[in-house]
A and B are shown apart, each in its own frame.
Chain A
Amino acid sequence: MTDTLIIGGLELESRLFLGTGKFGSNRMIPAVVKACGTQVVTVALRRVDPKYQEENIVSFVPEGCVVMANTSGARTADEAVRIARLAKAGGLGGWIKIEVINDNRYLLPDNFETIKATEILAREGFTVLPYMSPDLAAAKRLVEAGAAAVMPLGSPIGSNRGLKCAELIRIIIEEIALPVIVDAGIGRPSQAAEAMEMGAAAVLVNTAVATARDPQAMARAFGQAVAAGRGAFLAGLGPVGRAASPSSPLTGFLDG
């Protein structure tokens, strides 16, 4: 049986989503996409310029990839909704990553405004993937609001600190029926693998790939790590113990 991720009616084989905001050249995006096998690429509408195709980031996303516009720059639900509508009107399809950030120091998302935007856009037929601070109550409200998945941050955007929010993400994975896609802060392929081993449905990576010395090679490594982590999750990871444990220390006497 093939292990696929179903979101918004689409069946995805790759569980690595790729952000495009920080690359040293838009021209390297096709090679990076091929190297990691991603099928979902996010683009910030703020950067999309259909009138200047030579530098329009969307024109570098290979065919076959889902282009998921994000609402980067939105400080309120209202701005996120407007950006999403502009993206759709501009032909970017119906997938939208909601980013509502009114904190420029840490770039932490505003869960409250994100929930508001999700509700409006889900009602309008968008496939909504909201970026959020890992908080179970907020995740539940996003489910009620009609999100197609939830995207809790691993660490602040650009920090490359990995899964500082691991425990809260784990709780969300356990309690929420929707796909949980860890987004932001993943700095190394091992951290992506860790997220997948935890049971995340996918991860989204931008900074770690875009700013690597060799983005193509790093993308390949991330692709492999995500597959490895998912494979380990499906295989059933053994329990983790703090100390060595003999096979039957306390109850061995019962076996005669």
Chain B
Amino acid sequence: MSFIQEMEEYRDLDVTAYHASLTDADIAAVLGRDRLSALDYLALLSPRAESHLEAMAQKAHRLTLQHFGRTVQLFTPIYLANYCVNRCRYCGFKAENKLHRKKLSPTELRAEAEVIAATGLKHVLILTGEHRKMSPVSYIADCAKLLEEYFTCIAVEVYPLTQEEYAQLAGVGVDSMTMFQEVYDPLVYADMHPSGPKSHYPFRLDAPERACRAGMRGVNIGALLGLKNWREEAFFTGLHADYLQRNFPDVEVSLSPPRMRPQLGGFAPVSGVRDKDLVQYILAFRLFMPRGGVTISTRETPDLRDRLVKLGATRMSAGSSTAVGGRATGEEETGQFEISDHRGVAEMAEMLYAQGYQPVYKDWQWL
């Protein structure tokens, strides 16, 4: 079983032609439905649907309230290591970039954890570049075990693992994973990932599935917006989320819509994604998967993130850094990309309270 087989069903779909065929009446009909088909979702991602954004927003807001209440979960990323063997064109950590390569020792990790734990956060996302020698699964597992002294929920965003390796991490308390396919179009994918293990498209695409089979409670997926036309990438990301939910009904499926940010190497987005496009994507996804989570990172500006609270966001990072270490020492290291929202946990909580929302610091604990 693989999502690739489902993607094949849409191989001959001409998204542009489909979008061009839609009328306002078609969009209104979709908005009137309780359950949306895949093509309904695609319709809501169309240029035609752009003029229905307010109606989409009202419905998406109501659905988010119903299913998630007035709450937003807060978490923060911890970059454990930035060694990487891949040559992804758009990434600040790609192998050929000259930057200080680093990996946190247990002492350094503990220092980072103490700083973060003092903010009240209980959820962390740990990340590494892809380097099986410098940041093997055993290292990731050891870091997770150490962090469990401070946090109740550990998620991983690392290189694609085998099912056994995901089970190994689940066995030490890692309860969810994030995996960005980066770009669902196989040809663009091949161009963006010319060498290294990441050039293996199917292995990466099937990683969330392997994690689900290994017993992880949650998977968070996404495409890196800017590598290809966002409407098509949003469509396949939504389909992927729906596929995972159908096949693994007990897993909490969520989606991130990360937009490209400036990074070491200076790769510029190939395709533009306006704020309006990002909002349309999030709203369409909410209507397609009412119980799907939506994670918004500090790639986005404070003002936009504030607005997204009532537009479907269910999880947000706070006090973020995309560099390895630095919270405890204050040293400046090169991050994976530039962040836009530098607000700490207290400021994010204040923002949420001001909007009538409860920040959720703890939403699970390892049993």
Contact = CB atoms under 8 A, between A and B. Distances in A.
Interface in B82-130: 120, 122
Contact of A47 (B70, B217, B252, B360): B360
A44 to B, nearest CB: 8
B59 interface: no
Contact of B361 (A22, A49, A102, A105): A49
Interface residues of chain A: helix, strand, loop or mixed (majority): loop
Interface string B352-367: 0100111111111101
Interface residues of chain B: helix, strand, loop or mixed (majority): loop
A86 B359 contact: no
Find the residue from A25, A45, A104, A107 having the highest chain B CB count within 10 A: A104
A23 B356 CA distance: 9
A52 B249 contact: no
Given A25-B356, A55-B361, A160 B250 contact: no
Interface residues of B, number: 31
A47 B363 contact: yes
B367 A79 contact: yes
Contacts of B362: 46-49, 52
Interface in B241-270: 245-246, 249-253
Given A46-B362, A47-B360, A52-B361, A207 B66 contact: yes
Contacts of B168: none
Contacts of A54: 120
B69 interface: yes
Given A104-B249, A104-B250, A73 B364 contact: yes
B65 interface: yes
Contact of A24 (B249, B250, B357): B357
Nearest to A54: B120
Contacts of A211: 65-66, 69-70
A203 to B, nearest CB: 18
Contacts of B361: 49, 52, 55
A26 interface: yes
B66 A159 contact: yes
Contact of B68 (A22, A45, A52, A105): A22
Contact of B249 (A22, A47, A48, A105): A105
A55 B72 CA distance: 13
Contacts of A55: 120, 359, 361
Find the residue from A73, A107, A160 having the highest chain B CB count within 10 A: A73
A105 B367 contact: no
B71 A22 contact: yes
A46 B69 contact: no
Contacts of B364: 46, 73
Contacts of A107: 291
A75 interface: yes
Contacts of B66: 158-160, 207, 211
B200 interface: no
A83 interface: yes
B67 interface: yes
Contacts of A22: 65, 68-71
B367 A86 contact: yes
A82 interface: yes
A210 interface: yes
12 contacts: A21-B71, A22-B68, A22-B69, A24-B69, A46-B362, A49-B122, A104-B252, A104-B253, A104-B291, A105-B249, A158-B67, A159-B66
